Amino acid sequence: MNPRMLRQFWSLVETTQSSILLDLDDASLVQWLLRQIKSERSLNLDEAAALNTYIRSRLPLIRDLAYSRLARTA
């Protein structure tokens, strides 16, 4: 994955409502995030597979960030 895609991905995570990141199960969250990125840029099969793997490996961090945001607003 290139740095631009990583920045785009983490920007998406930061701007997505915490409830979406926390309410979806793992598989649904991965698919939702992939769809959002694909709606902003076209991905070839290799990029989509790499992003899928990356998202799956970062799910605990994504959820931790969402919990932190909720805690700050409470």
SS3 assignment for the chain: CCHHHHHHHHHHHHHCCHHHHHHCCHHHHHHHHHHHHHHHCCCCHHHHHHHHHHHHHHHHHHHHHHHHHHHHHC
Band (74; pLDDT cuts 50, 70, 90)? low
Q: Give me the domain span that covers residue 37.
A: 3-73
Global model pTM greater than 0.85:
yes
Count of structural domains within the chain? 1
**Is 9's pLDDT higher than 80?**
yes
